[in-house]
Amino acid sequence: MNKKYKKIVIAILLISTVGFISINLKVLKKNGGDHSARQIENRKKFGATYMTTNNRFYEIINDEIRSVVESNGDILVTRDAALDKEKQTQQIYEFIKLKVKAIFINPVDWKQVKPALMAAKKAGIPVIVVDTPVYDNKLVSCTVISDNYDAGVQCAKYLMKTKSKANIMLIEHSEAKSGIDRIKGFVDTIGSNKQYKIVAEGDSEGQLDKAMPLVNNLIKKHPEVDTIMALNDPSALGALAALKENRLLGKVMVFGVDGSPEAKTMIHDGFMTATSAQFPNKMGYIAAEKAYDILKGKKLKKDVIVPITLISKENVLQYEISGWK
């Protein structure tokens, strides 16, 4: 482990007095991989490519898809694009060559993926988008996402309910539509209210290891920041690590999106403010079922929106802290 990542791990593990030693730091993985090594080819073959598997959220989606696929006696070939849009494009072309029956995609770049989607459509392979939409929706058969806009709305509403004014830092992911929508929902909700000012913003690509140095730098330039809105929980955890390093932990409100076990632990221990919880198990199951419905020729709703739930100190004990439910 290099010094940079070791520093991140130590900072994160020191955040909680309870300690969430079981935190899934998949962020340490450098390369994309083939997660289908132990699968046995049987009948239909499906392909799945994710922007990254450094986020446990995507692994849970994939596990649920695999469960449905394998329960039907079929095989799922999974690829990690490792935040590389070109790599993801090649993975889709690989799936086309493998003549998969359907492709599940969580796009690295919601616009740049278009040529690969066009190739899949030309090959007659249905595409099911999961978690974050693509720009050219007509090229895909179905999109299964959380209500990302509302995720941002709920964080902003909680902020405005609990704090009369704020100097806000935004942590974004400009190439992911889900991240764009979450931040937009937050910004639209605070609107033109002059008591809530956005004083800093930066792009973490949704990654803990990028959010930590980003926040560390921005908090020094903008010491007035008292609230951080992060597009997802890994970025929020990176922000918490930076705040820990700057002796600001517990003094700055931090919001995330995902509902991860680590975020719920931080909320329970009083270090994180709230997270708009998604339900990756449900999203993965729906995506897999939609794929089989498409293959059966069933007509289906093109867009499936899964509601989110805001988790804060008031209700965190109502949820399974160690899991995603």
**Does the pLDDT value for residue 35 go beyond 80?**
no
- Predicted confidence (pLDDT) per residue in 221-269, tens digit: 999 999 999 999 999 999 999 999 999 999 999 999 999 999 999 999 9
How confident is the model over 103-107, as a mean pLDDT?
A: 98
- Predicted confidence (pLDDT) per residue in 280-294, tens digit: 999 999 999 999 999
Domain ranges of the chain: 3-14+148-278+312-318, 27-146+279-306
**Shared fold status for 3-14+148-278+312-318 and 27-146+279-306:** yes
The residue among 228, 216, 307 whose CA lies nearest residue 263 is 228
**Using CA atoms, how far apart are residues 53 and 38, in angstroms rounded to an integer?**
17
**Which two three-digit tokens encode residue 277?**
């919880």
**Using CA atoms, how far apart are residues 196 and 190, in angstroms rounded to an integer?**
7
Q: 27-146+279-306 belongs to which homologous superfamily?
A: Response regulator (3.40.50.2300)
- Report in angstroms the alpha-carbon separations of 118 from 58, 95, 272, 288: 24, 13, 42, 21
Torsion sign across C-alpha atoms 47, 51, 56, 61? negative
How confident is the model over 103-120, as a mean pLDDT?
A: 97
3-14+148-278+312-318 belongs to which CATH class? Answer: alpha beta
